Amino acid sequence: MPQYDSPAAKAYLAQSKRDPDDNLLAMILDWRMPPQIDLMSALRNFTPTSMVRMTEWGVVPWAPENRRLMAVVMERPGGDRVMANPKATFEPFDEGMIVKGVLTPLLPVIRDLQARGQTHRNIRPTNLFFTDAQRRQVILGECYTAPPGMYQPYWVEPIESHMTEPSARGRGRLFDDIYSLGATLLALAIGRAPVPDGDPHQLLLNKINYGSYAALAAQHRVSLPIAELLRGLLSDDLKERWTIREVELWMGGRRLSPKQPKLPKRATRPFEVAGREHFNARSLALGFGTEWRNASPAIRGAAFDTWLKRSLSDETLVERMAKIANPATSKDSGDGERLVARTSIALDPGAPLRFKGLALMLDGIGDLIAASLDNAERRGIISELFQARLAPVWLSGQVEARSDTARWQQAFEKAPQYIISGTAGYGMERCLYEMNAHLPCLSPIVDRFYVTNMAEMIWALNDYARNPGLAPKLIDRHLAAFCAVRCKQMSDQWLRPLGDNEQTSSYKIGVLKIVALIQQVSKIDQAPDLTRLLAEMLKPVVDGFHNLKQRKKMHQDLEAAGKTGKSAEILALFNDIQVIDRDEKAYQAAQASYQKTATQISLLHIDASNSHHHAKEMGEQVAAIASGSIASLVASIVFLIYFI
């Protein structure tokens, strides 16, 4: 049912077994993007009459793609989309329709979401549906098939979110939904998008320099009451932006006369970056973030310091710059990107964290990593961002207190350790799963099974083992990182052998230990195809035994253990390190004994080849002694005869 498709999910007709007459849709989600499980759990019993109601969600077999996918079942809207596509035009809503047909049904939804600590982050004209064919009232569409705000048009988002990479906008706050509601009402009042073909960057600068209301609505004609409403909802100052209560007062006829937009302090003369003039700190921060490659020399230059102190003349900003950025102490050219990031934080604390052209909200980092897996350049920038350790700097610069500060500070502190290590189980894959609690394992080995826990992992590996191909591999970087995060019993010591060469015994036994642990944790007693493959993979380890009797027995035991379906039975054969040590020591002793014997035999061969020479020498010595002895005896006899 393409008329109900979302940007990241396809809609299909669904039928309830309990009530076949229910008008239901099944939204099939993109398996590579993190599902919004926390939000769906919070909205499980959420039954507003003016928002498409979700009835259930779960992982289902999906034959068209031969894989398991996440499906979200929801009630089908009774009417068409208010705005069929981002460039569509439609009959403008009058003031009465805006009040009775839009605000009256939608405000309670936003209030109820706020009471549950949630935001919608998908309020836009293309996500509104008429309740019926009469088109007298609208309902709000879904908010759980994609990361929050990822597919919001830039003009619908407040300045801070407009600056941010769409996949890294994060869950946001109630004020973000209020702003999006205001921008949506403007589109409804004029019958089209207010800036359908505009330049996003120029619109952002206009929002900063002149205010969102002027940038979006000034060129359009709306009634005075609607203009008053829009001024309140589109205020860029959160203290001045209207709340739900103030909108309700306006609906009741009370005119609140919103204050004039509070624009950034304007400098007496501009500061130029890449040919563009900037008259305020927020605009300049955006300029530095956009032109980050050439920004550090300008930041270190005397002209920038002069502009801050004299042209802008903002003592608070000067103090913040000295505390956060302090260009005078950053002389190393290799520190340029971090200096630009710190300077941007000091100039505009409310903006997203900027680094090398990337802008993100901290709670959107997990979604950003997931969206960047196929982009090597983007992954490299994220890795550098983690190692630059800028998250604490950004958090310290926030003017408003954040409830999630401790959580994200801890997450960003661990990330550099993961990035530095090249071993499987770490790297960007580890960060991906650490920062996405509900993302399935994306390893090509098991991705078609939508694995979310250790039990599903064993079933998926067992299925893979039935047809593993010519070069079977049970653990890759994604699978190791996923298990390291989701299996709480697995410590870093389990991952160390994965850093060895894949042909070594230590690596193969390390893989066996991880699989055995997963099977133990999963409480799945039988995985026969998996253990059969494990036994086959471990045969080279057994072939490494030097004792022939031991080797033969190990092969027999390995074959038997492979048929049990229990990886622990195989591990028991290799878990005794002393057996391997004894075999190795016995082999070394045999080698030494062989060498000693060989040396002795060699000496004997040398002695045998020289036996004639030795005999001759011995004969000569004996003859000399004998002749000497005989001569002495004869002389003695002659002497005796002569004298006697």
pLDDT (average), residues 578-582: 61
CA-based Rg of the chain, rounded to a whole angstrom? 39
What percent of the chain is modeled with pLDDT above 90?
Answer: 65
Q: Is residue 427 part of a domain?
A: no
Question: Do 480 and 604 fall within a single domain?
Answer: no
Q: What is the 3-state secondary structure (H, E, C) of 524-586?
A: CCCCHHHHHHHHHHCHHHHHCCCCHHHHHHHHHHHHHHHCCCCHHHHHHHHCCHHHHHHHHHH
Where does a domain end: 251, 272, 300?
Answer: 251
Look at 637 and 466; give whichever has higher pLDDT.
Answer: 466
Of the pLDDT bands very low, low, confident and very high (cuts 50, 70, 90), residue 589 is low
pLDDT (average), residues 581-598: 62
pLDDT in tens, 361-371: 999 999 999 99
Q: With contact defined as beta carbons under 8 Å apart, do 518 and 460 qualify?
A: no
User: Which H or E element spans position 604?
Assistant: helix 577-609
- C-alpha separations of 400 from 317, 397, 405, 617 in Å: 16, 9, 11, 106
Question: Do 454 and 565 fall within a single domain?
Answer: yes
Question: Do 466 and 570 fall within a single domain?
Answer: yes
In 10 A of CB 631, how many CB atoms? 10
Cα dihedral value 570, 575, 479, 63, nearest 10: 10
Question: Do 588 and 568 fall within a single domain?
Answer: no
Q: pLDDT at residue 636 above 50?
A: yes
Q: pLDDT at residue 457 above 90?
A: yes
Q: pLDDT at residue 612 above 70?
A: no
Which amino acid is present at 268? T
Of the pLDDT bands very low, low, confident and very high (cuts 50, 70, 90), residue 552 is confident
pLDDT in tens, 126-157: 999 999 889 999 999 999 999 999 999 999 99
Question: Which of 367, 329, 326, 365 minimizes the C-alpha distance to 346?
Answer: 326
Question: Do 585 and 622 fall within a single domain?
Answer: no
In the block, tokens 């209020």 appear at: 178
Q: What is the 3-state secondary structure (H, E, C) of 206-267?
A: HHHHHCHHHHHHCCCCCCHHHHHHHHHHCCCCCCCCCCHHHHHHHHCCCCCCCCCCCCCCCC
Question: Do 507 and 614 fall within a single domain?
Answer: no
Question: Do 570 and 584 fall within a single domain?
Answer: no
- Residue 631 domain boundaries: 610-644
Q: Is residue 364 part of a domain?
A: no
Q: Which of 302-306, 370-374, 501-505 has the lowest mean pLDDT?
A: 501-505
Q: pLDDT at residue 643 above 60?
A: no
Q: Is residue 69 part of a domain?
A: yes
Question: Do 545 and 598 fall within a single domain?
Answer: no
Sign of CA dihedral 586, 587, 589, 590: positive
Q: Is residue 50 part of a domain?
A: yes
The whole-chain average pLDDT of the chain stands at 88
Look at 486 and 631; give whichever has higher pLDDT.
Answer: 486
Which structure tokens are listed for 602?
């060699």
pLDDT in tens, 534-551: 999 988 888 877 677 878
Question: Do 599 and 538 fall within a single domain?
Answer: no
Q: What pLDDT, on a 0 to 100 scale, did the predictor assign at position 504?
A: 87
pLDDT (average), residues 637-643: 61
What percent of the chain is modeled with pLDDT above 70?
Answer: 87
Number of H helices, E strands in the chain: 28, 10
Which structure tokens are listed for 85?
């596509």
Which structure tokens are listed for 526?
């039988």
pLDDT (average), residues 335-339: 88
Q: Parallel, antiparallel, or unpaired for β 24-29 and 67-75?
A: antiparallel
Q: Is residue 425 part of a domain?
A: no
Q: Where are the alpha helices (DSSP H) in 326-446?
A: 336-347, 365-371, 376-388, 391-396, 405-420, 427-434
User: Which H or E element spans position 493?
Assistant: none
Of the pLDDT bands very low, low, confident and very high (cuts 50, 70, 90), residue 583 is low
Of the pLDDT bands very low, low, confident and very high (cuts 50, 70, 90), residue 333 is very low
Q: With contact defined as beta carbons under 8 Å apart, do 97 and 195 qualify?
A: no
Q: pLDDT at residue 635 above 80?
A: no
DSSP for residue 62: E
Q: pLDDT at residue 331 above 60?
A: no
Q: Is residue 271 part of a domain?
A: yes
pLDDT (average), residues 492-503: 89
Q: What pLDDT, on a 0 to 100 scale, did the predictor assign at position 603?
A: 65
Residue 393 exposure: Cα atoms within 13 Å on the Cβ side: 28
Question: Do 25 and 150 fall within a single domain?
Answer: no
Of the pLDDT bands very low, low, confident and very high (cuts 50, 70, 90), residue 416 is very high
Question: Do 225 and 328 fall within a single domain?
Answer: no
pLDDT (average), residues 211-233: 93
Crossing angle, helix 336-347 and helix 376-388, to 10 degrees?
70
Which structure tokens are listed for 274?
């890449």
DSSP for residue 355: E
In 10 A of CB 84, how many CB atoms? 13
Question: Do 103 and 50 fall within a single domain?
Answer: no
- Domains: count for the chain: 6
Q: What is the CATH number of the domain that holds 107?
A: 1.10.510.10
pLDDT in tens, 559-577: 998 899 999 999 998 876 5
Q: Is residue 453 part of a domain?
A: yes
pLDDT (average), residues 147-169: 96
Which structure tokens are listed for 311?
């042209």
User: Which H or E element spans position 272?
Assistant: strand 271-273
Residue 69 bridge partners (DSSP):
60
Q: What is the CATH number of the domain that holds 30?
A: 3.30.200.20
Q: What pLDDT, on a 0 to 100 scale, did the predictor assign at position 585?
A: 64
Where does a domain end: 301, 318, 351?
Answer: 351
Q: With contact defined as beta carbons under 8 Å apart, do 111 and 244 qualify?
A: yes
pLDDT in tens, 426-453: 999 999 999 999 999 999 999 999 999 9
Residue 457 exposure: Cα atoms within 13 Å on the Cβ side: 28
Those residues with Cβ within 8 angstroms of residue 311's Cβ, 6 or more apart along the chain or in another chain: 267, 268, 269, 271
Distance (Å, whole) CA 34 – CA 440: 8
Q: Is residue 307 part of a domain?
A: yes
Which structure tokens are listed for 262?
């509070």
Which structure tokens are listed for 63?
């034959």
In 10 A of CB 536, how many CB atoms? 15
Residue 338 exposure: Cα atoms within 13 Å on the Cβ side: 19
Max intra-chain CA distance, the chain: 171
pLDDT in tens, 26-85: 999 999 999 999 999 988 888 778 999 999 999 999 999 999 999 999 999 989 999 999
